[in-house]
Amino acid sequence: MFGNYLIGLREGLEAGLIVCILIAYLVKTGRQDRLVPVWLGVALAVTLSLGFGAALQFGSSTLTFQTQEALGGILSILSVGLVTWMVFWMRRTARHLKSDLQGKLDAALAMGTGALVLTAFIAVGREGLETSLFIWTAVQATGDGIRPLIGALLGLLTSVVLVRLFYRGALKINLAAFFTWTGAMLIVVAAGVLAYGFHDLQEAGFLPGLHTLAFDIGDTVPADSWYGTLLKGLFNFQPDPTVLQVVVWGLYLVPTMVFFLAPQRRGTPADSPARSTTAG
């Protein structure tokens, strides 16, 4: 639930900031009449994201067990790749997000209503598709279709409140620090999703070593205990992982975290807090 709250909060805040910047720019330049195309693009992006998530859930339920496991493994790996790209991209570009969006918006305004709808659609749709995919893989990994969704919904609602406060100028926050800390936590969560994805591929028969366990502490940390459930929900912890899962987990987590937390070179976009991205 925490991992999905985090992804909902972060993705919702990214998408919300984008919408906030677009709307604030149109209002400040006296182009309120162009707000409708922006909201239309946002609505289309949300609809696409919900439809994508529904297609994943209901489409996979009609597949054989082996195909479900293979699909779950492949999509888990894909979602980890997207989330990893997302956290590095936001860390690198947070400082110039506002100016970049305003430049794209000016170009869209010059091209017409369709380009304006497309700009908002692409900006929000990317985060929406990433969120749908990551939440779906989390649901498959935990075998719980309720708590991951509740966590993601709470995260999205929190992001809506924060963005509204940003827009009103009632809240100031160091966004660079926020995205750094949440990015680091998401990398830990993603490592667990990646390991589980490889386990799915092992169960599908695509990869060997399904019965070669790295360790088995099921007696000490029962999977159905409250703390076992908590660890599984937070980190996709498994008391009896295979050797391949442990190797993949370590090979992803350690270098990714080192690169992510490494000091930025002077002059890069992420050197200073992204306070300019607030729409006030």
Q: What is the pLDDT of residue 244?
A: 95
Read off the pLDDT of residues 229-272 as tens digits, 9 standing for 90 and up.
Answer: 777 766 777 889 999 999 999 999 999 999 998 876 655 444 44
- Give the model's confidence band at 276: pLDDT under 50 very low, under 70 low, under 90 confident, else very high: very low
> For the stretch 60-94, what's the b/e string if a residue is b when 16 or more beta carbons lie within 10 angstroms of its beta carbon?
eeeeeeeebbbbbbbbbbebbebbbebbbebbeeb
Q: What is the pLDDT of residue 92?
A: 75
Read off the pLDDT of residues 202-227 as tens digits, 9 standing for 90 and up.
Answer: 999 999 999 999 999 988 888 777 77
Mean pLDDT score across all residues of the chain? 80
Task: List alpha helices for 29-146, DSSP H.
Answer: 35-60, 65-93, 97-111, 113-142
Judge contact between 106 and 242, C-beta under 8 A: no
Q: What is the pLDDT of residue 273?
A: 40
Per the DSSP assignment, residues forming a β-bridge with 213 are 242
* 277 has a pLDDT exceeding 50: no
What 8-state DSSP symbol labels residue 213?
B
Q: How far, in Å, CA of 254 to CA of 187, rounded?
A: 10
Q: Where do the structural domains in the chain lie, given as residue ranges?
A: 2-277
